Amino acid sequence: MYINDINLSSLVVSEPSESYQSGETVNRWVEVLVDCPGSTGLFTYRLPAQLEIKPGDILSVPFGAQQLGAIAIRLLAQPNIDLPPEKIREVEDIVSVGFFPSAYWELLNRVAAYYYTPLIQVIRVALPPGLLGRSQRRIRLVGSRGAGGQGGRGAEGSRYLLGSADPLAFLTPTARQVWELLQGQPAGDYSFVYLQQKVKSAYRGIRELLRFGLVESYLEPPRLTRPKLQKAVTLTGTIDDELTTRQREILEVLRRHGGELWQNELLQICNASSSILKTLAQKGYIVVEEREVLRTEQGPTLVGDGTKSLTAAQASALETIQTLDGFAQVLLHGVTGSGKTEVYLQAIAPLLNQGKSALVLVPEIGLTPQLTDRFRARFGNKVSVYHSALSDGERYDTWRQMLTGEPQVVIGTRSAVFAPLPNLGLIILDEEHDSSFKQDSPIPTYHARTVALWRAELENCPLVLGSATPSLETWVSVGSRGAGEQGSRGAGEQGSGGAGEQGGRGAGGEFVTPHSSLPTPNSSLLTPNSSLLTPHSSLSTQHGLNAPLPLTALSTQHSFRTHYLSLPERINSRPLPPVEIVDMRQELQQGNRSIFSRSLQTALQELQERKQQGILFIHRRGHSTFVSCRSCGYVLECPHCDVSLAYHHTEEKAPELLRCHYCNYARSHPKFCPDCSSPYLKFFGSGTQRVTQELARQFRDLKFIRFDSDTTRNKGSHRTLLTQFANGEAHLLVGTQMLTKGLDLPQVTLVGVVAADGLLNLSDYRASERAFQTLTQVAGRAGRGEDPGRVIVQTYTTEHQVIAAVRSHDYQSFSQAELEQRQALNYPPYGRLILLRLSSLDPIQVQNTAQVIATVLSTEEEFEILGPAPASILRVANRYRWQILIKFAPDALPRLPDWEEVRSLCPSSVSLTIDVDPLNIM
């Protein structure tokens, strides 16, 4: 009989071995983000009684017919009312526990919201490769690994079957086929997928075998996330007379090495086999066990390095940084060679003693070996490296090492901004102006500087931006407020304020800046519960992840402290190198047809005679920028991209190779023009290969090393080449942009820029800024040691404002002139941009889609639409590219469109990327 309307306390039915209990309803469901291409929504799963799952755990869940990685977002007391309970599947297992503390969750949500990216995409970027890899369900015979099976229900059935005369007689044909397959495999173990392929309706047979306890099912985690294990041998007993002479020898070697050695090392030293170790282990003299080996980047053994004495400007800057309490943004504006790295090192040292960690971001992998060596010489094994050139295992182990909470320093490139360092005390962006900190593709198109600012705010620690040529965004936001007389002032002694000043001046060089100059999502828009997403997404009731917060919701006006710190002089008052500008038009008129001016030829000859070293900077790699027919003018182009093929010289007498620098297409150099059959094909332009060939021809005794992306493809090649150069094995380092990124080579006295014009003549509003930064940075490589430096810049446009500013090392005049132009055109930092990139294999469809989207956007009056227009290189890898640029003011963010509606206008064949604050609009 059923009785209604009686108040009973809620009962929770216990699992086996648990007592019945009454009390409040517990969370028995969890919403997760599943790592599946095309899936961006939340999915509800039932929690198994034996698993203690918390938000932020990495799980393995059944998804369709496969097992996938997933992130636990939040626990639920009740599932969505629209979900039939019988259709809710159960979480399989926990892969990793507690990866996401609250501040880290909020950071990921901010990135997803600001850059219009599904949260799971941000998580993929933040986590090391393979952590969300696909788990694999496997089936194995009970007892194949010494296991007792699942026990309980199947154990009795298993003993009954195996004890009978013919156990297979009790099985169905399907189960018998699965059983025989497993029996035929030495380990008695196959993946569920393999068994399904081999046996029709295998799942029924497997279910039957599981019921009888003949097999067991287990989850194999993703291979890339497994720790690396290695056998170690430990001495446990004393060496006595019962042992053979050979056994005593091995134990004596082990004793001399502190009683512990890796097994392979011990066997190699003793020239022994593992069988003798097994005998010793059985007798109890040693223990052989597997231990984890951390796969981390191993640098050379370094001599310890003590703190160096600081200049007055360095000491003032260090004092300001060390007195900062909580979140602040600092611009350390120091000329090349002024000792910014030493300030970083001395700012980090006391933090490590306080149990805090530091994060140092650099623009390129090529910069990390030299910087890492300096940090390791100072801080030893507390320094870790994290970047994309590490192996997946190295990245995984380095990531796990960060989670230990030990005070440490992590040095890495762009993606290291997501390094999960607990108790973070300082974030440093070295060479903060560099465009490598911005990700163009794939999504999220984040800028590490912006994400680092948010992270510093969430971790309540200072952010230090270091550069000799700050980006104009940072200059307006921080630097220009006190840099009007930068050359004559030290740290904290600001002038009257430069162009674009916003906010009021505080005491002692401190400024309170409106947040609009570097927009930051308001943390209050994210729920206090770190396990939750934004309340706007209504994720508890909808099982599809809505679009991130509109940009308007992310604009805030709360203030934060900014500091401008200047290092106007080099260490030991060394002068900045004089810059000589050579007009290549006059060289040509005077009969010099070489790619080297007479001035540079003389300097190279003196370099060889004086046994000094120098750097040659070339804008492009390869041999020649294009190949053209001298008879008809035909230019050899890539069949997949709208660009010319560059000539690459591989080795002597090897086939001449033409390569596309966009899609990597390659072909042999034709003997005759494909258009007119003329044999007169000529190489035009010059890359690093061409320059090195000319060097070898004109200066036979001059030794050089090429340093570009062609010669640094292999792991460790950056360190190898720089070490060779530092050891004096070459007179010249010849390379591209990598040479400009913070290399400290005190022995370099000469810097030559072969052709500056390739940097100046680009159809990009940032071309002048990039050119000035690149030329100033490469010029700063000269004269950092005891010998004075010299810089020679070859150009066909000596009258360009960038060339004039580089000649006088005058950042102030350049930035003022450039900012006036930006302000007149409402470009960053005085305007904001969002770039829509569309691409497709179909040229007509992508053009039509771009026009439809532009028409929809043009109904808004709060922002300006530029385009649609074809990209400067219309076709890359056979994909046709169109662009739409949205421009608006930074202080009053407009009501921007619903991006999900915009995406819905794109056919499946058209790809759309939303690039917020783009740096590259080519």
| Of 9-13, 729-733, 840-844, minimum mean pLDDT range | 9-13
| CA dist., res. 639 & res. 876, Å (int) | 9
Nearest to 838 by CA among 762, 766, 905: 905
| CA dist., res. 909 & res. 920, Å (int) | 24
Looking at per-residue confidence, does 125 or 305 come out higher?
125
**Is the pLDDT at 9 greater than 50, yes or no?**
no
| Of 7-21, 96-110, 277-291, minimum mean pLDDT range | 7-21
Average pLDDT over residues 674-678: 82
**Is the pLDDT at 467 greater than 90, yes or no?**
yes
As beta bridge partners, residue 750 has 614, 790
| CA dist., res. 433 & res. 340, Å (int) | 15
The one-letter amino acid at 857: L
With bands split at pLDDT 50, 70 and 90, how would you rate the model's confidence at 433? very high
Residue with tokens 């921007």: 896
| CA dist., res. 504 & res. 482, Å (int) | 11
Average pLDDT over residues 40-51: 82
With bands split at pLDDT 50, 70 and 90, how would you rate the model's confidence at 685? low
Average pLDDT over residues 846-861: 88
Looking at per-residue confidence, does 281 or 305 come out higher?
281
**Is the pLDDT at 165 greater than 80, yes or no?**
no
> Quick check: 703 and 673 in contact, CB under 8 A?
no
- CB-side exposure of 317: number of CA atoms within 13 Å? 31
Would you put residue 773 in left (φ > 0), alpha (ψ -120 to 50) or beta?
alpha
| CA dist., res. 416 & res. 410, Å (int) | 8
The one-letter amino acid at 74: R
Q: How far apart are the first and last CA of the chain?
A: 77
> Quick check: 435 and 770 in contact, CB under 8 A?
yes
φ, ψ for residue 589 (rounded to 5)? -65, -30
> Quick check: 418 and 123 in contact, CB under 8 A?
no
Looking at per-residue confidence, does 505 or 333 come out higher?
333
With bands split at pLDDT 50, 70 and 90, how would you rate the model's confidence at 32? confident
Q: What confidence tens digit (pLDDT) does each residue in 299-314 have? A: 665 566 778 889 999 9
Query: What residues contact 842, with CB distance under 8 A and at least 6 apart?
Result: 880, 909, 910
With bands split at pLDDT 50, 70 and 90, how would you rate the model's confidence at 447? very high
Give the DSSP per-residue string, 87-111: GPPBP-EEEES----HHHHHHHHHH
Q: What confidence tens digit (pLDDT) does each residue in 823-852 have? A: 888 889 988 899 999 999 999 999 999 999
| Of 64-78, 210-224, 494-508, 594-608, minimum mean pLDDT range | 494-508
| CA dist., res. 288 & res. 263, Å (int) | 8
| CA dist., res. 893 & res. 554, Å (int) | 9
Residue 687, pLDDT score: 63
**Is the pLDDT at 735 greater than 70, yes or no?**
yes
φ, ψ for residue 465 (rounded to 5)? -105, 115
| CA dist., res. 135 & res. 92, Å (int) | 10
**Is the pLDDT at 148 greater than 50, yes or no?**
no
Nearest to 754 by CA among 643, 601, 588, 649: 601
Average pLDDT over residues 644-668: 69
φ, ψ for residue 823 (rounded to 5)? -65, -40
With bands split at pLDDT 50, 70 and 90, how would you rate the model's confidence at 237? low
Q: What confidence tens digit (pLDDT) does each residue in 387-410 have? A: 777 777 778 778 878 877 889 999
Give the CA-trace dihedral at 282, 285, 290, 291, to 10 degrees. Answer: 170
Give the CA-trace dihedral at 852, 856, 857, 858, to 10 degrees. Answer: 100
Residue 601 CB burial class (10 angstroms; 0-12, 13-18, ≥19): middle
| CA dist., res. 563 & res. 510, Å (int) | 5
Residue 285, token pair as written in the block: 């003299």
Average pLDDT in the chain: 76
Nearest to 40 by CA among 899, 907, 721: 899
Q: Is 206 helix (H, G, I), strand (E, B) or coil?
A: helix
With bands split at pLDDT 50, 70 and 90, how would you rate the model's confidence at 559? low
| CA dist., res. 516 & res. 554, Å (int) | 10
| CA dist., res. 442 & res. 424, Å (int) | 28
> Quick check: 831 and 819 in contact, CB under 8 A?
no
| CA dist., res. 387 & res. 297, Å (int) | 10
φ, ψ for residue 480 (rounded to 5)? -70, -15
Q: What confidence tens digit (pLDDT) does each residue in 472-489 have? A: 999 998 855 444 433 333
| CA dist., res. 644 & res. 659, Å (int) | 9
**Is the pLDDT at 272 greater than 50, yes or no?**
yes
| CA dist., res. 702 & res. 688, Å (int) | 16
Would you put residue 785 in left (φ > 0), alpha (ψ -120 to 50) or beta?
beta
Q: Is 331 helix (H, G, I), strand (E, B) or coil?
A: strand
**Is the pLDDT at 623 greater than 70, yes or no?**
no
Looking at per-residue confidence, does 812 or 689 come out higher?
812
| CA dist., res. 723 & res. 285, Å (int) | 46
> Quick check: 582 and 597 in contact, CB under 8 A?
yes
| Of 176-190, 292-306, 751-765, 873-887, minimum mean pLDDT range | 292-306
Percent residues over pLDDT 90 in the chain: 19
**Is the pLDDT at 907 greater than 80, yes or no?**
yes
**Is the pLDDT at 168 greater than 80, yes or no?**
no
Residue 544: other Cβ atoms inside 10 A: 12
Nearest to 555 by CA among 524, 533, 528, 586: 524
Residue 131, pLDDT score: 65
Average pLDDT over residues 37-54: 80
| CA dist., res. 385 & res. 398, Å (int) | 8
Q: What confidence tens digit (pLDDT) does each residue in 320-368 have? A: 999 998 999 999 999 988 889 999 999 999 999 999 999 999 987 765 6
Residue 195, token pair as written in the block: 């068994």
Residue 713, pLDDT score: 65
> What are the Cα distances from residue 568, in Å, to 485, 749, 804?
10, 21, 20
Residue 138, token pair as written in the block: 């496997």
With bands split at pLDDT 50, 70 and 90, how would you rate the model's confidence at 23? very low
**Is the pLDDT at 219 greater than 70, yes or no?**
no
Our CA angle for 23, 29, 34, nearest 5°, is 160
Would you put residue 305 in left (φ > 0), alpha (ψ -120 to 50) or beta?
beta
Average pLDDT over residues 427-455: 92
Residue 641, token pair as written in the block: 């991209």
Looking at per-residue confidence, does 880 or 683 come out higher?
880
Q: In what order do the strands lie in the sheet with 228-235?
A: 260-262, 228-235, 286-293
Strand ranges, E, within 178-295: 189-191, 215-220, 228-235, 260-262, 286-293
Residue 661, pLDDT score: 66
| Of 539-548, 850-859, 886-895, 909-918, minimum mean pLDDT range | 539-548
Alpha helices in 36-98 (DSSP H): none
Q: Is 352 helix (H, G, I), strand (E, B) or coil?
A: helix
| Of 125-129, 410-414, 913-917, minimum mean pLDDT range | 125-129
> Quick check: 418 and 443 in contact, CB under 8 A?
no
